[in-house]
Homo-oligomer: A and B are copies of this chain.
Amino acid sequence: MASKNYKLIISYDGTRYFGWEHQPGRETVQGKLESVISRLAGEDIEVLGAGRTDAGVHALGMCAHFALDTELSPEEIRDYFNRYLPDDIAVLKLTEASPRFHSRYNATGKTYRYTIYNGKTKPVFDRKYVWTIEEELSLERMQTAAAFLQGKHDFAAFCKAAGKNKSTVRNVDRIDIRRKGEYLILTFHGDGFLRNMVRILTGTLVSVGKGEIEPEMVKHYLAEGDRKAVPATAPAQGLCLVEVDYD
């Protein structure tokens, strides 16, 4: 019998997961999805994602795909997922895709959002989805630095374990930072991101916002490519994968 190829859009609260990718003996998002769909299929089904998210990182619109031979409609499969998945993972959309669709190889871009709470009190209801910074951040300084980082660069300095990559050049065509009440919302769009890259970029922009380093320093980091020179990685919990693009 012929399997069909399905495309999934998934939302998850990453708080209690060791990231997307499965690891033996650990709770992961991929592991949860695979266990539900394998139960439906009566055999092991692999669910492949557009990328990996780190432990504690959230997603509004992760994309994944899997092959399954079934008579069920896409809505029925989606509802099955949502009935058996824990309440911190939801399948937002499930559609049949072309047989050659691959969530990772066909991805042409990704949008990430990093949320900082920069107010005077405490963010009670979204405390698990933000990085709380008490010291006032300068939006203008951060925007200046973001403009230097935007574009096609070698991001070796903004990457964990850069040596594992064939290339550390990426095109980040948009880094947008805006204040929304007591929050700072950083939106990154690019053709791809290296390991920890959004969190290292955010950590650097926060150092600029605090006045610890000058906005121009980021040009130096890009040119030098030295991870150790760059400020600390922002915590995972403020990061969310918003969307994956396909042509």
Contacts and interface: CB of A to CB of B under 8 A. Distances in A.
A87 B129 contact: no
Contacts of A92: 121
Contacts of A207: none
Nearest to A92: B121
Contacts of A90: 121-124
A59 to B, nearest CB: 9
A13 B78 CA distance: 31
Interface in A170-224: none
A235 B125 CA distance: 18
Nearest to A123: B90
Contact of A127 (B82, B87, B123): B87
A13 to B, nearest CB: 5
A140 interface: no
B122 A129 contact: no
A125 B129 contact: yes
Instruction: Tell me the dominant secondary structure on chain A's binding face.
Output: loop
A214 to B, nearest CB: 30
Contact of A87 (B13, B58, B82, B124): B124
A125 B126 CA distance: 8
A122 B87 contact: yes
A12 interface: yes
Most buried by B among A85, A88, A89, A124: A124
Most buried by B among A91, A125, A129: A125
Contact of A13 (B12, B121, B124): B124
A11 interface: yes
Interface of A: 11-13, 58, 78, 82, 85, 87-92, 121-127, 129
- The 3 tightest CB contacts between A and B, nearest first, are A90-B122, A11-B124, A90-B121
Given A11-B125, A13-B124, 11 more contacts: A11-B121, A11-B124, A13-B125, A13-B127, A58-B125, A88-B124, A89-B124, A90-B122, A90-B123, A90-B124, A125-B129
